[in-house]
Amino acid sequence: MSDPPTLAALRRARALALPDWYLAAGWIRALVWDHLTGRASSRAGVDLDLIYCDPAAATRERDAALDAALGPPWQVRNQARMHLGKGDRPYASSLESMCFWLETPTAVGVRLEADDSLSLAAPFGLEDLFSLTLRPTPRGRERRAEFQARLAAKPWFATWPELRLAD
């Protein structure tokens, strides 16, 4: 709530009135890690990942239209269709979809409610996020090569040298 860009993003997301939505993943993770390490939170190059779950409108076209309406750095994804191509059963909710993400500190989402309170979704808890620990989720352990590829592709350890890799 004390970070103006995040609060503005939460308000903008709330105005869309999407079902079961969260601002999730990299933006939230970077905000917390920057705060914990005393870094300025520019989040340059970090997507604003807006997830929601709406089985009645699970099309790429709808997400593309939302992406276009919001513009960069927003990335909107209906979790009701994200199981496709992954070999998973359909996800019943945004929270359930996060259980299939690859690392625990990324599987965190925040929603701004109508009364301006925050709701949190964190299927693996917050300990890893707050202890600067990168740990694979059960899915990340199953798909070790994908997890390792993400570690190699992301500048996490260069940006936050305090990070600890755990298994």
The helix (run of H) or strand (run of E) holding residue 27 is helix 26-37
What is the percent of the chain with per-residue pLDDT over 70, rounded to a whole number?
99
Please write the tens of the pLDDT for every residue from 116-131: 999 999 999 999 999 9
Domain containing residue 24: CATH number: 3.30.460.10
Q: Which residue(s) pair with 151 in the sheet?
A: none
Residue 11 to residue 94: CA distance in whole angstroms: 19
- The domain of 142 spans 4-165
Number of compact structural domains in the chain: 1
Average pLDDT for 51-62: 96
* Prediction pTM value: 0.95
